[in-house]
Every structure is written in C-alpha cells, then in structure tokens.
Amino acid sequence: MPNSNILLIVSEEQTGDLLKRGVLQPAGYQVTQVGEPTAAKSIIRSSPVDCIILESGVGGEDFKFVYDLLATFPATPLILIGPEKDTDQYVKLLRRGLLDFLTPPLKPDAVLESVQQGVDQSARLISWAKDQYRRDTDFLRQRVNVLETLGNVGRSVTASLDLDEVLKSVVDAAVEITGAEEGSLLILDESSGELTMRASLNFKDEFVKTFRLPISDTLAGEVVRTGKPVLLDEKSPQKIKTSYLVKTLIYVPLKIQDKVLGVLGVDNRESERPFQPQHISLVAALADYAAIAIENARLFENTEIARHKLEAILTRIEDGVIVVDPDGKVILVNRVARTLFGIDDDEMFMKPVEEVFNHEQLIDLLTNGHETFPFRCELELDEDKVINAQLNFVPDVGLTITMHDVTYFKELDRIKSEFVSTVSHDLRSPLTAILGYVELLERVGPVNDKQRSFIQRVQVSVRNITELINDLLDLGRIESGFDESKVSLSITNVVMYSIESLKDRILDSDVKLALDVPKDLPQIIGDSVRLRQVVDNLLGNALRYTPKGGKIEVELREENEQIIFQVCDNGVGIPAADRPHIFEKFYRASNVVENISGSGLGLAIVKTIVENHNGRIWVDSTEGEGSVFTIVLPIEKNQE
Ligand code: ADP
C-alpha cells in the first residue's frame, strides 16, 4: 500500500540506503531509517508504523532486541533480516509473532512481497480495532443514555410533588429504555381488588379511563400476588390474560417493603422483538422509583392531613398561641393571639418577632433567653386587659407561648380584696373594744381561776383574729402598691435587723442558726419595711416548721447582678402536692400539725412584696428533710 510507513532498523547505513532507495521508496513506501534500539522504540511510540524491518545484529547478537520488540509492539508486523546460519532461531521467533525473515542476498521482489504482507496485516488490524471501538462506543453510549434516563426519573421523584407527573415520566422512561411500543403503570385499588391504569404511554385515553383488571387469573395480578417480575415472548405459553393482546411483554411489581402497590409494564403488540433479561432489571429500577414516589405522596398526604388538623385545632382553641423558632422568627400566631395583639399581617411567617409584634413585654419574653421552663408571667395589654402567659421550650421547634385572658379573674380578685379589706377594717374596731373590755374584767371585781383561764383564751383568740385581720389589711395595701416608698438600701442590714429582732425566738426554739451574710454587697432599690416583713416571714416559718435541735442557714450573695437570699432548714419539709400552692392565700400544707398556729397568708404577702420589687421567689423542699426558700432581687443599676 503506497504511503505506508516502514521503519528500517539497520546497523550499517549502506545496507539501509540500498533497501530504502533501491527497493522501498521506488515502490511508494515512506521509510524512516534508524541504527539503534532506543531511537527505534521512540519512533514506534510517537508515529504510526505499518511494518518494521530489522537487521538481526542490532541490539546485540542474542536476539534480545527482537524478542523485546515482539513483546512490546505485538500489533506491528516485524520482518527480520539475518544470515542463513541462524534459521533455527528465526523459526522460534516466527512462533512468537515474527512476520517473516529474509536472508542475503536480498531479492527486491521477496522484500516487497514480505513488506506488503506486513502492511496488509497492519491495515486489517487497524480496521478491526476501529470496528470494535465503534461497537464499544455504541454500547457505552446506550448505557449512558439508560443511566441518564434513570437519573432523570430519580431526580423527578425527589424534586416533584406531582405524583401523576412522576409516574408518567417513569412509564416514558421504561418505554424508552426497552424500546417497547407502549407502557403502563397499574395501581392496585385495595378496596375493589382491581388494577387501574394510573399512567401510560401510547394507549388510547378511553382505554386507560375504563381499564379495570382483576388480580385473579391475570398476568399483572400474578405479579401482584407473587411479587415477582414476568417476561413474556412469542414462545411463552399465554395461559393468563393480559386484557389486551401482546406479542412480547415485561411486568415488574411496584414494591414498598414487601407490599406490592401495583405493576409497571412495557409491551409490543406489533413487533415480535423479544425483551432481554437485562431489561427486567432496568424496568425494576424504574418500578422502585415509582413505588418510592407513591409512598412519598402517601406520607406527604398524611403529614398534610395531620398539619391541617393541628392548624384547625390551633385556630379554633380559645387560648392564644405563638410559636417562634430558636432564632426568634415567627412560625405561628393563631387567631386568638392575632386578635389580642392586633395583628392583621398575613405574611408574618419567618419574620423576626420585633417586626411582627408591637408589645415590648412580649418581645422581651420571646427574645431574652430564659433558662427554666415553663416560665409564667402576666402581660398587660391596652384597655386594661391582663393576659396570663406561659412560655415553654419545645426541642426542635423553638419557643411557644400559650396565653389566657385573665382580665375577668383579675377584676374579680380586685373586688374580693377590696371587700376583704373593707370588712377587715370594720372588724378591727369591735375587736379592739372586745380586747379592751376583757382586760378590764379583772379590774372591776375578783375572778376565779376558771374565769381567768377563760379570759386568757378569749384574749389569745381575739389577738389571733386581730393578727389575721392585720395580715389581710397588709396584703390589700401591698397588692394595691399604695404604701410603697422605695429607696436605695443594704439588704444585709435588713436581714441582720430581722435576725436581731427574732433573737429570743431563735434561742427558745433551740435550733442552730448559721449565717453567711456578707457586708459588702451591692445596694438594692426597695422598701425596707416590706423587705423586713419578707425576711421575718421566711425566718419565722423556718423556726416554726423546724423541730428542736434542727438547723437553719441564712445566706446572702451576689450572682449575675442579682442578690440571692436563701433560707434553708432541715425541718418538716413540704409535700410535693402542696408545693405549687403554698404561695396562695390561706393555703397551709397538709403536713402542718395542728398546734402550730398560722393563717396561711405569710407566703402570699412575701411573694407579693418580692414581685413588687421585680424579684422572684421559689421553694425547693423534700418532705421530712427540709426546705430551701430562694429569693432573687435585682441590684440597683449604675452602682460604682
Ligand atoms: P402559715 O401562716 O401557715 O405559716 P405561710 O403562708 O407562711 O402560712 O406558709 C404557708 C404554708 O407553707 C405553711 O402552712 C406550711 O405548710 C408551709 N411552709 C412555709 N414555710 C415552711 C417551712 N420552712 N417548712 C415547712 N413548711 C413550710
């Protein structure tokens, strides 16, 4: 073949020239001549060589280079030129792939015939390789197309919420991948036990609409019952009905965790072209996508139903509900809460609370991190409305506030307090008169021992009633906030005065008192008389409810710009069921023994005073082991 490339490897330039100019070039071959192995190999690697002519002596007498070339470039024909004496070696090399050998004297015709044979062999090899490459490329292209189609369907399953659209794309892909004439996706209607056609390609609309296939005695039904795919060709006996006549067909089940939801099928009615077994696995992969899409749609529908129910409940309940995420963005404000805070913005979802609400107290509640939940407080709205709010933390959601309008109860409470205060006031004068006259009794004439004992009982009872009335009047005054006169004061002094005045009671009660009351604490803003009342009450209770030989610890400290005041005793403790109520008026715990007198008003007074000082109070207690009352009060701002 003219223009073919011949590589001539000869040690003597003269021999080379003779072959090149005398024989090969005149016959139309392109000839490259080299004299040593490295140059030869680099040429074969870098440019096309159709045939090699090698002189046997190049690269040594032992034929090493010849073996090397045959092993490294097995596709390039090699002709060896060498002395006749080595013919035995040449025969061995022929077995290793040598094309031919020539012995001097070289005859031009023999050389050309041999070279032509090499060139032809090279051409055949190249053409075979090209065909093979084309076949491989076509095969790979097909595989890539199939993978792309599967990938597209997979993406549409995750991206689209429209089930019909996804199922249609599954059927289209099944038809495309298998080269079928038509495709269908049948869904099992569990109530009727029939299969209906949910998606299809190349079926008539009317046929699709009316399609109903029982699962007994049908091919698709068998796939549903067994959960196994079916491949049908012209040779398979068609005992079972397909409801339409086909020549070849594949049906695979749509399965979710062993439950068969339906069947994906492709078929040929005209062509007899059989489907291949590998088509089953491809259609099965698509059926899996369809099953996932159906399951996703079912789960989504369930979630939507649950969400609508929840939304309906939250909208209808008579309590206000606000939900914000951990970043302070609004997730939900129900109807009642919208009315309470006068919101008519429908676009509030995921807006910051500061943008949605115009209520300082509420914004503060939702944005200033609280540590203990539930946190209860009252919010004041316009028109003297009072809302009882409960702040809660819900993991993975954020903060929720439920709100209840307590304006009516507040008003009721105010009227009741007013009534109690009026009645108490009116009772005080006659009681003072009774006490006065009882005291006079002994002065106006002799009384016997029995009469004296009765007089004393009357006096104790009247004093108890007077104390109760004083407490009630106190509470009324404190609640109304009329008598407040707050100044900057040292809480240490208040506590120490109180302890000083209770000294006799402490000695009488035979308890050990431990004090941790530092002098150099920051000042607070408060009413010293009322705060004395707080300390007196808590210490008085600790003394009353701690049996002889017990221990009381009083502690004051500063923590995070707050004063912490704690009274801790190892007395009778408070039963768990009573604990939430002990700050209510007239409430006494169930374990109080009868001979310990008390009105149940002390802690109600304490709590009201503490809250009037913007503080908080709570109790930790174990029945039979003791109690710890803790009060937190803010320190005065801007202190040096
Ligand atoms: P009371 O006049 O009954 O002491 P308080 O309002 O001061 O009324 O207290 C309410 C109730 O709380 C008490 O009756 C008692 O049951 C309980 N309590 C208060 N302090 C203590 C304490 N230190 N140890 C045990 N129980 C206590």
Looking up residue 589, the CATH number of its domain turns out to be 3.30.565.10
Domain that holds residue 458: 409-480
Which of 151 and 185 is assigned the larger pLDDT? 185
- Tell me which residues have their CB closer than 6 angstroms to ligand 1: 537, 541-542, 545, 569, 571-574, 582, 587-589, 592, 598-604, 627
Task: Report residue 384 as tokens.
Answer: 């003297």
Does 216 share its domain with 264?
A: yes
Q: How confident is the model at residue 167 (pLDDT cuts 50, 70, 90)?
A: very high
Residue 245 inside a domain? The answer is: yes
Share of the chain above pLDDT 90, in %: 52
Q: Which of 538, 570, 588, 591 to mutate to test the pocket of ligand 1 (most atoms within 8 A of CB)?
A: 588
Does 363 share its domain with 261?
A: no
Task: Write the secondary structure of 601-621 as one string of H (helix), E (strand) and C (coil).
Answer: CHHHHHHHHHHHCCCEEEEEE
Looking up residue 420, the CATH number of its domain turns out to be 1.10.287.130
Of the three residues 405, 424, 457, the one that is the final residue of a domain is 405
Task: Report residue 256 as tokens.
Answer: 């979710």
What are the angstrom distances between the C-alpha of 277 and each of 139, 284, 333?
Answer: 16, 11, 58
DSSP 554: E
* pLDDT of amino acid 349: 84
Does 494 share its domain with 629?
A: yes
Q: Supply φ then ψ for residue 83, to 5 degrees.
A: -65, 155
Rounded to whole angstroms, how far apart are CA atoms 13 and 10? 7
Does 437 share its domain with 393?
A: no
Alpha carbons within 13 A on the beta-carbon side of 431: 19
If one counts the domains in the chain, the total is 5
Residue 417 inside a domain? The answer is: yes
Residue 337 inside a domain? The answer is: yes
DSSP sequence for 115-158: HHHHHHHHHHHHHHHHHHHHHHHHHHHHHHHHHHHHHHHHHHHH
* pLDDT of amino acid 639: 60
**Atom 25 in ligand 1: residue holding the nearest Cα:** 573
Looking up residue 267, the CATH number of its domain turns out to be 3.30.450.40
Residue 375 inside a domain? The answer is: yes
Q: Which amino acid is at 616?
A: R
Residue 141 inside a domain? The answer is: no
- Name the CA dihedral angle for 21, 22, 23, 26, rounded to a multiple of 10 degrees: 60
Looking up residue 98, the CATH number of its domain turns out to be 3.40.50.2300
- Answer yes or no: pTM beyond 0.75: no
* pLDDT of amino acid 118: 94
- Name the CA dihedral angle for 188, 193, 194, 195, rounded to a multiple of 10 degrees: 10
Of the three residues 480, 509, 524, the one that is the final residue of a domain is 480
Residue 379 inside a domain? The answer is: yes
Rounded to whole angstroms, how far apart are CA atoms 99 and 70? 10
Of the three residues 356, 388, 405, the one that is the final residue of a domain is 405
* pLDDT of amino acid 401: 93
Does 378 share its domain with 494?
A: no
The distance of Cα 210 from the centroid of its chain, to the nearest Å, equals: 44
* pLDDT of amino acid 39: 92
Does 629 share its domain with 491?
A: yes
* pLDDT of amino acid 377: 86
Contacts of residue 11, defined as CB under 8 A and 6 or more positions apart, other chains included, come to: 35, 36, 55, 57, 58
Residue whose entry in the numeric block shows the structure tokens 């009316």: 210
Task: Report residue 631 as tokens.
Answer: 């009060």
Does 18 share its domain with 73?
A: yes
Residue 639 inside a domain? The answer is: no
Does 182 share its domain with 295?
A: yes
**Atom 16 in ligand 1: residue holding the nearest Cα:** 589
Q: Which atom of ligand 1 is nearest to the CA of 589?
A: 16
**Atom 11 in ligand 1: residue holding the nearest Cα:** 588
Burial class (CB within 10 angstroms; exposed 0-12, middle 13-18, buried 19+) of 604: buried
Does 278 share its domain with 182?
A: yes
* pLDDT of amino acid 513: 93
* pLDDT of amino acid 481: 67
* pLDDT of amino acid 237: 53
What are the angstrom distances between the C-alpha of 191 and each of 33, 207, 214, 223, 224?
Answer: 86, 22, 12, 18, 15
User: Per-residue pLDDT tens for 456-496?
Assistant: 989 888 888 888 888 888 887 777 766 667 899 999 999 99
Task: Tell whether the model's pLDDT for residue 235 goes beyond 90.
Answer: no
Q: Which amino acid is at 118?
A: G
Does 10 share its domain with 86?
A: yes
CA of 588 to the centre of ligand 1 (A): 6
* pLDDT of amino acid 494: 94
Average of pLDDT values for 178-198? Answer: 92
Q: Supply φ then ψ for residue 372, to 5 degrees.
A: -110, 135
* pLDDT of amino acid 128: 93
* pLDDT of amino acid 239: 45
- Name the CA dihedral angle for 262, 264, 269, 272, rounded to a multiple of 10 degrees: -130
Q: How much of the chain is helix, strand and coil, in % rounded to 5?
A: 50, 20, 30
CA of 299 to the centre of ligand 1 (A): 55
Burial class (CB within 10 angstroms; exposed 0-12, middle 13-18, buried 19+) of 38: exposed
* pLDDT of amino acid 515: 94
CA of 587 to the centre of ligand 1 (A): 8
Does 216 share its domain with 174?
A: yes
Task: Tell whether the model's pLDDT for residue 94 goes beyond 70.
Answer: yes
Looking up residue 369, the CATH number of its domain turns out to be 3.30.450.20
User: Per-residue pLDDT tens for 488-518?
Assistant: 999 999 999 999 998 888 888 889 999 999 9
User: Per-residue pLDDT tens for 436-447?
Assistant: 999 898 888 888
Residue 307 inside a domain? The answer is: no
Task: Tell whether the model's pLDDT for residue 227 goes beyond 60.
Answer: yes
Mean of per-residue pLDDT scores for the chain: 89
Q: Which of 574, 584, 596, 597 to mutate to test the pocket of ligand 1 (most atoms within 8 A of CB)?
A: 574
Q: How confident is the model at residue 121 (pLDDT cuts 50, 70, 90)?
A: very high
Does 182 share its domain with 285?
A: yes
* pLDDT of amino acid 241: 53
